[in-house]
Structure 1
Amino acid sequence: MGVGISFLIGLKAATLFSIFTFMNNLGFKWFAIPFLYASLISFLVSIASHPSINLPMLLGKGSDGVFPIWSLIIFSPYLYFVRAFSALRRLRSGEAPYSEICEGVYVGGWPFSPDKLPPGNPAVIDCTCELPRKTELSGHAYLCIPTWDTRSPQPAEIESAVKWACRKRAQNSPIFIHCAYGHGRSVAVTCALLVALGVAEDWKNAEKLIKERRPYIRMNALHRKALEEWSKFRLSSPKRNDEIGLGSVILSSPSERS
């Protein structure tokens, strides 16, 4: 399994530190300091996002999808970089912000504005730990599963998201599952939901169905491993389900639990 974001952000940290060293050697000490700070933050993120550590709570994203002030200040070099990078990448790709996989189930990228949301006042499952829930979208039912880019939600988190989404579908509410681009984290959760809704026989068939509707998806080994474990988890006894601890998923409010 590749290290994904850990390697990329680690490379960014090394580049920023090289710029700091270069500018510092030229005598531009005060101008170099921001590059040193940004490199340290990038290094910290690369460590926290490694599969062996996997600590998305480092960034402090709340259950309502909002970042506290301390997080915006401390992690600003990373948080604002990924927002700008995400917007630029989506602009250049020309890909649709979301795709309807089956009736009432959508998967897509970060909805940074209301026009990026599917129609029908959808309930939103947010699989990112690095992107905020925009205030103008606060009227939607919301569930946050904070996950690093290129990583996967844990099997118990996937199961809780699936149960939450099934309750919303039973109330005829559309479901929108998103990550940064609608290619990995959100697709893993959508695969599980399609199985739970009876649309697909298993997650592998669900992946094929999603790819037909959204061709650029690309789940990695971590996503597939989590789905394999989730599949076994669903066949386990209710007692086993309790032991795994479904409460690890963050819900937006107590009222959303019903």
Structure 2
Amino acid sequence: MAVGVIDWRMLLVFGWPALSWALVGFAYLWPGAGIFEKRGARLTWHRKLLLLPHMVLLYATWHAVRALSREPAFARLGEDILIGRRLLPGEFPAVRTVVDLAAELDEHIPAGTTYLSCPILDGAPLPPDVLRQVAKRISAAPAPVYIHCAQGHGRTAMVASAVLLERGVATSVDAALTLVREARPAARPNRAQVQALLDAWAQVR
């Protein structure tokens, strides 16, 4: 009996975290952001339970970065677009639409705002056709619009650049990325995300 108890404890201590992180790692191959099962603004409770070891580390890291960072929570990108990190309830500026790109975090929705959810894994691109559709949807949403991911860097830069291209504010991917960096210097997509932008707007031309 003692051996069985020890085995279950070892399984809980080591097996649960291993499974949690293995599933998140597997998500970058398949099934993508769906691994978090975000429904509207919230992850499902059973998926949170399954991924609890990962979620505890994730939220602890997010709060630590938020507390220690000197970067402003958000920045204005033009007259009716704001970009930044995930905000706490009391941090929201006056916006009419919130665009949530963080697949892995619950969202706070200010009363009276339109909520658009586009869950993306951290560091992942969107397929070019989906990126264009998302940009069109955001462009048609009530303004001002707040676009954010976890820290307001990679995913935010990719989608905000797509919106600038969709609206014709920027006439090239480089120009769109420059505008985003000028507003929020740390907002820089990775190579895959830049390639998604290039592929999306090469196709529409």
The normalised TM-score by structure 2 is 0.89
- 1:108 pairs, out of 84, 93, 107, with 84
The answer (yes or no) to whether the contact 1:107–1:177 under 8 Å persists in 2 is yes
1:100 partner letter? R
Post-superposition offset of 1:28 = 9.2
CA RMSD for the aligned pairs? 2.1
Q: Could you say which residue in structure 2 is the equivalent of 1:79? A: 55
Q: Does 1:118 align with 2:93?
A: yes
How many Å separate the matches in 2 of 1:31 and 1:54? 29
**Pairs aligned (count):** 201
Any idea what SS the aligned residue of 1:142 has? strand
Distance in 2, matches of 1:54 and 1:204, equals 31
| 1:206, distance to aligned residue in structure 2 (A) | 0.9
| 1-structure distance, mates of 2:194, 2:121 | 15
Do the aligned partners of 2:156 and 2:187 also contact (CA within 8 Å) in 1? no
Calculate percent identity across the aligned residue pairs: 24
Please name the residue that 1:20 is paired with.
none
- Pick the structure with more strand per residue: 2
Q: 1:219 to 1:88 in 2, by over 3 A?
A: same
CA distance in 2, matches of 1:32, 1:145: 35
Residue of structure 2 in register with 1:133 after alignment: 107
Structure-1 separation of matches of 2:131 and 2:122: 16
* Match in the other structure for 1:146: 119
- Name the residue aligned to 1:99: 75
Gaps of at least 5 residues in structure 2 are none
Displacement of 1:139: 3.6
- CA offsets, 1:46-105, max 9 Å, x none? 12124xx3521011101x121112112111112232122111112212211111011111
1:11 counterpart residue number: none
2:36: which partner in 1?
59
The alpha carbon displacement at 1:29 in A equals: 6.8
Paired residue type of 1:201: T
Q: 2-side partners of 1:217 and 1:226: how far apart?
A: 16
Pairwise mapping of residues 154-173 of structure 1 onto structure 2 (< 5 A)? 154-168=127-141, 171=142, 173=143
Tell me how far 1:215 sits from its aligned partner: 1.0
1:29–1:57 Cα change, 3 Å: closer
Match status 1:200 vs 2:173: no
- Could you tell me the TM-score, scaled by structure 1's length? 0.72
- Could you tell me which runs of 5 or more consecutive residues in structure 1 were left unpaired when the two chains were aligned: 1-23, 236-258
Provide closer, same or farther for how the CA distance between residues 156 and 80 of structure 1 changes in structure 2, counting only shifts above 3 A: farther
